[in-house]
Amino acid sequence: MAALAVAVVAVSTSAILIRWSGAPSVVKAFYRVVFTTAFLLPWAVGRYRHEFRAIELRDLGVAGLTGVALALHFASWFESLNHTSVAASVTLVQSQPLFVAVGAWALLDERLTRRMLVGIFVALFGAATMSLGDPLLAAMGFGSSDGLAGTGTYGNALALVGAVCAAAYVLAGRSLRQRVSLVPYVVVVYVACSVVLLVVAVAQGAPLVDYPRHEWLLFLGMAVGPGIFGHTVINWALAHVESGVVSVSLLGEPVGSTVLALLLLPGEVPTPTTIVGGAVVLLGIYLTAEARNRD
């Protein structure tokens, strides 16, 4: 539980580090994954060498698709932070359990219970409130929807795309995780993800090396904090703590990120509709995750 608490704090720093960096979004995502892989690779190869050799060609193909989904998740979510508030972006991207539930129903014949449907609709209502509330109020002459502290509809849409891609990452990797242990799985998927992000960065003409020292420190921080102490520790905690506890604990990320943004980023005061809508989204995610775990 202590490790899980550290991990939630670590992943809560991700949005702050992303916003501090002035590099293109795809470059930030690329170096986060590359540096995380670089930290894991020596230990993974030394301890899991035989498991790497035993991975079948079919499983490598699945890992490649999983890496593509993860790359699209990172690219869309990182970019969303350029167009909407930290509170909105992190809350919406955390809605991936909703899309996992729907995807598992559509693709894997898993049952959608009444409780899960209620959670999904509650979360969707909250997302609509976050995305459309401020523009509607502004249209009626109440307040303004300008600025990152308000609601950026485009940024919110990108965050939801990131959530869908994260769900695809979870669903695509589910069968692979049954045959490949965690560390080799993560390394193979991260390598595939890095290749996809590199191709996108080159296609966009984004500079890959011409950055000042503080940018490299931010890239490194994204890998060490949210990458190693965040998601890697969360995956480790799943072997020692019930998955339902982990799912609910991850709802602390939007709260932690919002508090850090208030303290560390100028102009990051969420609007009332963002706060209310975000709370409704978190409630919907909680109801859906609890129903899946109970089922």
Model pLDDT, residue 145: 46
Instruction: Map residue 19 onto helix, strand or coil.
Output: helix
Cβ contact 4:250 at 8 Å:
no
Model pLDDT, residue 294: 66
pTM of whole model > 0.85? no
Beta-carbon neighbour count of residue 35 at 10 Å? Answer: 20
DSSP 8-state symbol, 230: I
Model pLDDT, residue 32: 96
Model pLDDT, residue 70: 93
Distance between CA atoms of 121 and 138, rounded to whole angstroms? 25
143 Rama class: left (phi>0) / alpha (psi -120 to 50) / beta: left
In the structure encoding, which two tokens stand for residue 66, read together?
A: 């999983």
In the structure encoding, which two tokens stand for residue 289, read together?
A: 């995750």
Per-residue pLDDT of the chain (295 residues; tens, 9 = 90+): 788 888 889 999 999 999 999 999 999 999 999 999 999 888 888 888 888 888 888 888 888 899 999 999 999 999 999 998 888 888 888 888 788 888 888 887 778 788 888 888 888 888 777 766 665 655 566 555 444 444 477 888 999 999 999 888 888 877 777 788 878 888 889 999 999 999 999 999 999 998 999 999 999 999 999 988 988 787 777 667 765 566 667 778 888 888 898 899 988 877 788 788 888 888 887 887 777 666 5
Model pLDDT, residue 10: 92
Name the one residue in this structure whose structure tokens are 């990131």: 162
The C-alpha angle with vertex 191 and arms to 186 and 195, in degrees rounded to 5, equals 145
Distance between CA atoms of 287 and 166, rounded to whole angstroms? 19
At position 182, the amino acid (one-letter code) is L
